[in-house]
Amino acid sequence: MYWICFGESAKGCLSVARHRIAPDMPKEKIIALLDDYTQGDIRNVGNRAAREDILFPWQEEQDADPAWMRDYIDRHWEAFGRLDEVDKAVIWAAGGNAVEQCGLRYVVSRLYERRVPVWLAEVEEIPLGEIKEEDEGRIGGAVSVVTGSRVLNFLLRFVPQPLVRRYAAHVSRRVRSERAKEGRVRYSGVGEMDSGAARYFYRRRRLLTETEQGLLLTEWKRMQEENAPLRVMASGRPRSAAIDFYDEAILACVSTQERRAALTVGKALVKLAEAGDCVSDMMIFSRIRALGAAGRLEIVRDAPTYRDMTIRKIRS
């Protein structure tokens, strides 16, 4: 049995969770695809040249480590090739996450050819009472901080990991409490879960019928044929969209005062997530550049990263 997920945060979460829900499963059987199939040309997602800018959008950053970039890209293509060895699979995907739902459809299209049995662990809502408090030392996934202060960002790099994990656990409990509505918590991505939530969704995994797999395959082929620049969630399913689909939401997060683009990126991520749209930070940054070029916002100080670029709203 293999577990298949999308993104490094999801893999980190599941690598921790497996100790409690499937202790006999080797970590090596967790396969994480790192590409984002909501963006770009998907007619042949095995085309390295066509996918590299989407797979690693940070290439222009001055401090991007070439070795880390190559390792990241290689990890994706290794996982991509390993789908051919899968004999049975549990696919982990959040119901409202376009990246994970597009990934689900692609993986099913690969496995359907060999009639591989596929279970779906669909991450959505969970009763608050089902979430057990986790050991702070077992926090998985990725922890990052974006602030308006470069000095603070620099200093945070030197905080000891035990303190970072304790802080992450504290924030996790606070956010979980804030997000709870009517005694339930909704997750917008697999990487947001702790082990207690993962155990809950794993128990409720279900075997996809051949009809269900065929439908997912059909939807993937349709998106390939349309090959739109963007795919978004609508009525619970991914659909093709124009590249400017999120522009109004992004513009609503731009301040009239000169601010770092990182703050707009962060606000837009939260705003879109609250609406059920999970998108990447670099996709938002690319749209900020496009909106600046179109004269819909002002790029006051240009820079290769959103941490260093400053922008403001154009007063009408």
- Domain with residue 284: its CATH number is 1.10.10.10
In a domain, 83, yes or no: yes
Residues 99 and 199 in one domain: yes
Give the span between the Cα atoms of 139 and 170, in whole angstroms.
11
Average pLDDT over residues 133-161: 51
Average pLDDT over residues 55-71: 73
Average pLDDT over residues 126-139: 61
Domain hosting 287: range is 244-313
In a domain, 44, yes or no: yes
Residues 257 and 150 in one domain: no
Q: Which of 63-77, 144-158, 202-216, 259-273 has the highest mean pLDDT?
A: 202-216
In a domain, 185, yes or no: yes
The C-alpha angle with vertex 144 and arms to 164 and 78, in degrees rounded to 5, equals 110
pLDDT of residue 122: 96
Residues 22 and 118 in one domain: yes
In a domain, 162, yes or no: yes
Distance of CA 88 to the CA centre of its chain: 24
Coil, strand or helix: which one is 64? coil
Residues 208 and 68 in one domain: yes
Residues 258 and 307 in one domain: yes
Q: Which residues pair with 92 in a beta bridge?
A: 121
> Taking the CA atoms of the chain, what radius of gyration do you get in angstroms?
20
Residues 290 and 167 in one domain: no
pLDDT of residue 136: 42
More reliable by pLDDT, 99 or 169: 99
Give the span between the Cα atoms of 104 and 220, in whole angstroms.
9
- Write down which residue in 216, 233, 266 finishes a domain: 216
Say yes or no to pLDDT of 118 above 50. Answer: yes
Residues 13 and 52 in one domain: yes
Instruction: Report the domain count for the chain.
Output: 2
Residues 152 and 94 in one domain: yes
Mean residue pLDDT of the chain comes to: 86
pLDDT of residue 63: 61
Give the span between the Cα atoms of 198 and 219, in whole angstroms.
27
Residues 286 and 158 in one domain: no
What's the sign of the alpha-carbon dihedral 184, 233, 82, 49?
Answer: negative
Give the span between the Cα atoms of 293 and 285, in whole angstroms.
13
Residues 186 and 291 in one domain: no
Q: What percentage of the chain exceeds 90 in pLDDT?
A: 61
Give the span between the Cα atoms of 146 and 260, in whole angstroms.
11
| CA-closest candidate to residue 82, choices 22, 13, 26 | 26
In a domain, 250, yes or no: yes
Q: Regarding beta strands 184-186 and 125-127, do their DSSP bridges make them parallel or antiparallel, or are they unpaired?
A: antiparallel
Per-residue confidence at 137, pLDDT binned at 50, 70, 90?
very low
More reliable by pLDDT, 163 or 249: 249
- Cβ-contact 291, 301 below 8 angstroms: no
Give the span between the Cα atoms of 284 and 271, in whole angstroms.
12
In a domain, 280, yes or no: yes
pLDDT of residue 142: 44
In a domain, 27, yes or no: yes
Summarised one tens digit per residue, pLDDT across range 239-288 is 999 999 999 999 999 999 999 999 999 999 988 887 778 888 889 999 99
Phi, psi of 29 (to 5 degrees): -90, 10
Give the span between the Cα atoms of 97 and 164, in whole angstroms.
27
Task: List all residues 6 or more positions away from 112 whose beta carbon is below 8 Å from its beta carbon.
Answer: 213, 214, 216, 217
261-274 vs 281-293: helix crossing angle, rounded to 10: 120
Name the DSSP class of 190: G
Per-residue confidence at 129, pLDDT binned at 50, 70, 90?
confident
In a domain, 230, yes or no: no
Strands (E) across 161-215 are located at 184-186, 206-207
Average pLDDT over residues 293-300: 96
pLDDT of residue 185: 81
Residues 249 and 114 in one domain: no
Per-residue confidence at 220, pLDDT binned at 50, 70, 90?
very high
Residues 154 and 301 in one domain: no
